[in-house]
Amino acid sequence: MQEIEKIVNGKDLFKRPEYQEVLANKKQFESSMLAINPAKVDEIAEWTKSWDYREKNLAREAITVNPAKACQPLGAVMVALGFEGTMPYVHGSHGCVAYFRSYFTRHFKEPTPCVSDSMTEDAAVFGGLVNMKEGLKNCAAVYKPKMIAVSTTCMAEVIGDDLMAFIIAAKEEDKGEFLPAEYPIPYAHTPSFVGSHITGYDNMMHGIMSQLTEGNKGETKQRINIIPGFETYIGSLRSVKSIVEAFGTDYIMLGDHSDQWDMPAGQYEMFQGGTKLDDAKDCINSSATISLQKYATSKTMKMVEKRWKHKGGFSNPVGLKGTDEFVMKLAELTGTEVPQKLKTERGRLVDAMQDSYPYMHGKKFAIWGDPDFLIGAVSFLLEMGAEPTHVLCHNAPNGWEAEMRAMLDTSPAKDSLNVWAGKDLWAMRSLLFTEPVDFMIGNSYGKELMRDTGTPLIYIGFPIFDRHHLHRYSISGYDGALNLLTWITNKVLDQLDEDTKGIATTDYFFDLIR
C-alpha cells in the first residue's frame, strides 16, 4: 500500500508484492482455473497479424473497435466555451456530461465547465421537459452565465424531445426571474449515434450564429469573420489571429476558446475569454467569413454563403501551401499587400524545411485523425517528400475521400499511398502488420498500436492524454508548420539513434562531431 513518507506512482506501486498477489489471483479467476490455453491465444494473436485476417477485419461493418472519433455533444461543448460567459448545457444523462468534461480536461489539463439536466429512467419514458425546465433555471441561478447553449445526448434524441418547445416552456414557467424572454438559449440537436464530434461542432455553431444574428442585418462593415472549427491546439488560434492582425484588418473569431483552456495559475474563472456576444450578434454584418475547417463547418458555411451572402469560403492554414493560401485569401479580401512580417516567417520556414528534407524524404507514415486535420497534415508530409502510406479517417464526411485521394495522387509514390475512410484503429492495426510503415502520426489511442506493432508514434492530433502541453503549441500558420517539422524530424532522428546504438554492430551512423 502507499506509504505517507514515500508516495509512488502506479508504475512502481503495482509492482509491490501485495498487488502482484492480487493480480495473480485475478488472472486465475478470469481464466476459469486455467481453462484458457496460452498456446491457442498465441496462435490467434499471430493470425490477427496476417493478410487473411486483414481482409476479414477491413470487411467488418457491424462493430467498431478502438474508434478514432468522439460523439456529437463533445463538439457542441467546445463551441459553447468559445463564446463569452456561455455555459454548455447538455440535455441528457449526467454520465455523458461527465465524459465530455473529463475528455477535454485530460487533454487541456484545465477544468471544463459543463452542466446536465441529468435525465434518468422516468425521463426516458415520459420525456425530459421537467428536467429541462428545472435545469435551465438552476443553471442560470447558480452559475449566472450570459448565455446557455443547449445540446443533446442519445437519450433525448431517441425520445424525440423538442428543444425549442422545451426552452420556451422553461422561460414561460420561470416568468422572467432567471430566464427572461430575451435571454439567449441557442440549441442544437446532437445525436451521438450519427456523425461525430465535428458534426456536433457544426450543428452547435449553426445554432448559436443563426439565433444570435436573427434580425440584426444592417450595413455591411469591412470586417472578416474567422471560424476556427474543432481546433484543439490553443496555439493555432493565436497563430491565426496573429496572421490576420498583421494585415491590420478588423476581424471577429467566432468561437474563440483559447483562453478558456489556457488560464494562468491563480486566475481561474468559470468563464474566460471567448467571442463577445455583441460581436457575435453583429457578425452577420461583416463583409466576409472564412472557415478554417471545411468539414467541421459545412452546415454553418451554407448559411453564411446563402443567407448572409458573405465572401470568404474555406482555407486550411496547415503546412506551407495551406498557410500560403490563407495569407493570399486575406490579401485578396483586404486589398492589402502581404506584410513583411509574414514574408519573413515564411522564409524561415522554407529554410528549416530545406534543412530537414533529407530526413523526411521517402519515409513512410501512417496517420489518422479528423478530416480537416488530415487534409493539412498530409499536405505538409507531401511537401516534405514523405509517403503517407495509410491515411485513415473514421469520421470522413462525403467528399473527403476523393479530396484526399486527389492530394495523394500528386506524389511520385501515389500507387502505394492508401486512403481508409470510415475505418477504426483496429483496422489500422491490420494495415500496420501487413504493410508496415516507418512512423505513425496520431493521438494517444495509438499507444496500443505502437506497443503492439513496434511502430514509433508521433503525438499529433486529439485527444492527447499521456503527453503534456502539446496543445499549447500551434500547428497552423508558418510557425505551426515549423512545430510540425520539428516534432516529426526529431522523432525520425530519435529513431535513427535507436536503430544505430549497437556497439560495433549497428553504430555506423553517429551524427555528432566535437
Instruction: List phi, psi (to 5°) of 195.
Output: 65, -155
Per DSSP, what are the bridge partners of residue 250? Answer: 223
Q: What is the DSSP string of 427-475?
A: HHHHHHHHS--SEEEE-GGGHHHHHHH---EEE-SS---SS-SGGGS--
- 3-state SS, residue 355: helix
Which pairing describes strands 364-368 and 221-227: parallel, antiparallel, or unpaired?
unpaired
Q: What is the dihedral of CA 372, 373, 374, 377, to 10 degrees?
A: 130
* Residue 463: cis peptide before it, omega within 30 degrees of 0: yes
Cα 224 from Cα 218, distance rounded (Å): 15
Per DSSP, what are the bridge partners of residue 148? Answer: 87
Query: Which is the catalytic residue, given 154, 244, 437, 492?
Result: 154
Cα 279 from Cα 22, distance rounded (Å): 59
Cell (9 digits) for 493: 532522428
Looking up cell 513496434 gives: 454
Residue 259, number of CB atoms within 10 A of its CB: 18
Return the axis-axis angle of helices 477-499 and 371-383, rounded to nearest 10°.
Answer: 70
Query: Which is the catalytic residue, given 8, 41, 142, 158?
Result: 158
Is residue 154 annotated as part of the catalytic site, yes or no?
yes
**278, HSE (Cβ side, Cα atoms, 13 Å):** 0
Q: Is 295:400 a contact under the CB 8 Å cutoff?
A: yes
DSSP structural state of residue 296 = T
Closest C-alpha to 484, from 372, 398, 356: 356
Cα 429 from Cα 431, distance rounded (Å): 5
Positions marked active-site = 154, 158
